[in-house]
Amino acid sequence: MNIQNLLREKAAQAVNELYKVEITASDIQLQQTRPEFEGDYTIVVFPLTKVSHKSPQETAEELGAALVNNVEQIEKYEIVKGFLNILFTKETWLDYLRELGQNESLVWGVSSKPRKVMVEYSSPNTNKPLHLGHVRNNLLGYSVAEILKARGHEVIKANLINDRGIHICKSMLAWMKFGYGETPESSGMKGDHLVGKYYVEFDKIYKQEIKTLVETGMLKEEAEKNAPLIKEAQALLLKWEDGDAETIRIWKMMNEWVYAGFSITYKNLGVNFDKFYYESQTYLLGKNIVNEGLEKHVFQQREDGSVWIDLTGDGLDEKLVLRSDGTSVYITQDLGTAQERFNEFALDELIYTVGNEQDYHFKVLRLIFKHFHRPWWDSLNHLSYGMVDLPEGKMKSREGTVVDADELISDMLKAAEEKTKEQGKLEDLSSEEQHDLFRKIGMSALKFYLLKVDPKKRMLFNPKESIELQGFTGPFIQYTYTRIRSILRKAGENGSGDFGNVNLHAEEKEVIKLLSRKDDVLREAEENLSPALVANYAYELAKEFNRFYQEHSVLNEADEQVRNFRILLITKAAQCIEASMKLLGIEMPERM
């Protein structure tokens, strides 16, 4: 029994009977009743005055009376300035907990319309290692995929590897000229870091060449085009496109180094993929879409041979989809890969996890397919997220320009070790168990801090704050969870529904109310593509348990029925906390 759904359904039924109309449960707006008023949920009455043709006060009076008279679970109502506060009976909350206790584990409410959804995330370039921006991208994409799976959807986690282009050739050329055969094995470096080293080396020498040319009197723009190194990189790209055997050999070798490095980072982040796409295999797919667009007059070809689409009628501008020399642009590839994915998997939805600097790009992508009359054009969704900033001077990267993902993970694990050792209590843990605990705490700090903020917002990641055992952090929630697990181990049982009609204290009721919200939270997280809603929910549940535990004993409770009730209550709280954190990719320790 979902108590919120029950209230929506009964309220809609009452409105229909009172005013001879037909509204649905989804038309009933609910809020949590503000703590200064009595009630569990508040019905927003103002929208209902359109069908009642009465004042908010009169509408609330009639609806409240109808609900109390006809719904046994509702004890009473109160009206505050047109808002209808509903108080459920104590038995309703006890019965809900008993219902939860019928399943050994936590069960999420699933969607009534399961879909096949592809979530694309990560999408790195093979010329450098992953950085902090990639970390937020990977964690968001993975968590959204897990939320969708929990809602009963079939989910395909996809990663499009950007493994071709001039940026890749820059790393290759620098290694060919200055690497002297260096490998990950000979250098002791992760493969992605080694390739990134040569990308940085290329940039350093390229800038010096530009400076030299400018000093001879050449304009900077001309120098950027005529520097010897960039010309060599462009020549190498042409060799790659022509299938030159030696170029392809080096390209494959260096890419393999990078993939091996990425694999380690992905494992440490706890993310995975079901399907990999490679730009080297997909970059020509969009050409077929371009030809179709020309035939259907969706696209127009200009005198220089370039191909465009006019989106001024959609409030945008004209957009290039193919260059005059016949080479594709990013939108061309995305057109091709989107079509390929819908063909291959018969998707109901495709979600791109990409930073908000690409908002315009994905708006254009959707509109182009709308002009093609693809039935799925509005099923292309952009999970847009903001940049991540760090406090000044914190954890500078090896290159001094971006925060390296591996370095960040390593620093978080060290911080977790230091913080945990400060607390003591590690004496009876083996070295292996200690390191596993440091890993779980460190990754919880990192993941929770990055996921607790609305994806759309730019955020500040404060490593020191994220690792605290108190406050709005992952380690605080883990600590609460381990406290509950410790109580349950001492109790030696998980409680039962055999607790009769026990008294229900305010702190106990608040925990049950939060448990009853779990399915609504998951649904809202799906609708908004926002793991932050799940993170905030887990934190609220941990806080409410702590308030309860400060006021009420579990193990020392003399009344057997009350003890049974409280053990079941905290069992379900622990399961819900663990399940919520799992959706964020966070593992829970058994002790801290």
Indicate which CATH number applies to the domain containing 73: 3.30.1360.70
> What pLDDT, on the 0 to 100 scale, is given for residue 18?
96
Q: Give a yes or no: residue 501 inside a domain.
A: yes
Measured distance CA(46)–CA(212) in Å, rounded:
71
Instruction: Write down which residue in 55, 72, 88 finishes a domain.
Output: 88
In this structure, the answer to whether residues 71 and 201 fall within a common structural domain is no
What is the reported pLDDT for 399?
44
Specify the residue for token string 């400018």.
214
pLDDT at 588: 98
Residues 451 and 570 in one domain: yes
Residue 112: how many CB atoms within 10 A of its CB?
6
Total number of domains in the chain: 3
Residues 75 and 179 in one domain: no
Tell whether 184 and 74 lie within a shared domain: no
Q: What's the whole-model pTM score? A: 0.94
Say what the pLDDT of residue 401 is: 59
φ, ψ at 81 (rounded to 5°): 50, 45
In a domain, 213, yes or no: yes
Residue 566 located in a structural domain: yes
66, 14 Cβ separation under 8 angstroms: yes
Please indicate, yes or no, if residue 255 is contained in any of the structural domains: yes
End-of-domain residue from the set 31, 53, 88: 88
In a domain, 380, yes or no: no
Q: Which single residue is written with the structure tokens 């007059």?
A: 297
As a whole number of angstroms, the distance between CA 514 and CA 540 comes to: 8
**Radius of gyration over every alpha carbon of the chain, rounded to an integer in angstroms:** 29
Residue ranges, the chain, pLDDT below 70:
392-401, 494-495
| C-beta separation of 326 from 301 below 8 A | no
Do 74 and 223 have their domain in common? no
Which residues are paired to 389 by β-bridges? 460
CATH value at residue 568: 1.10.730.10
Q: Which domain holds residue 199?
A: 165-271
**407 within domain boundaries:** no
Rounded CA separation 484/592 (Å): 12
Cα 581–582–583 angle (5° rounding)?
90
Q: What is residue 1's predicted lDDT score, i.e. its pLDDT? A: 74
SS3 109: coil
Q: 56-79: string of b/e by CB count within 10 Å (b at 16+)?
A: beebbbbbbebbeeebebbbebbb
Q: Please indicate, yes or no, if residue 41 is contained in any of the structural domains.
A: yes
Distance CA 51, CA 27 (A): 12
- Residue 414 CB neighbour total at 10 angstroms: 12
User: Looking at beta carbons, which pairs linking 75-81 to residues 24 or more positions away fall under 8 Å?
Assistant: 77/39, 78/37, 78/38, 78/39, 80/37, 81/56
Q: Are residues 487 and 575 in the same domain?
A: yes
* Residues in CB range of 145: below 8 A, 6 or more apart: 119, 121, 155, 157
Name the packing angle between helices 474-491 and 531-551 (round to 10°). 50
Measured in whole angstroms, the distance separating CA 109 from the mean position of its chain's CA atoms is 19
Own/partner long-range contacts of 424-428 (Cβ < 8 Å, ≥24 apart) = 425/591, 425/592
If asked whether residues 47 and 189 sit together in one domain, one would say: no
Both 70 and 169 in a single domain? no
Contact 496, 564 (CB under 8 A): yes
Gap between the Cα atoms of 31 and 41, Å rounded: 6
Please give the pLDDT value at position 493: 72
Boundary (domain end) residue, out of 214, 246, 271:
271
Q: Is residue 27 part of a domain?
A: yes
Task: Give me the residue label for tokens 């790393």.
Answer: 171
d(CA 2, CA 7): 9
Specify whether 82 is located in the same domain as 170: no
The whole-angstrom separation of Cα 22 and Cα 24 is 7
How far is 577 from 203, CA to CA, in rounded Å? 47
Q: How far is CA 99 from CA 90, 505, 568, in A?
A: 14, 19, 11
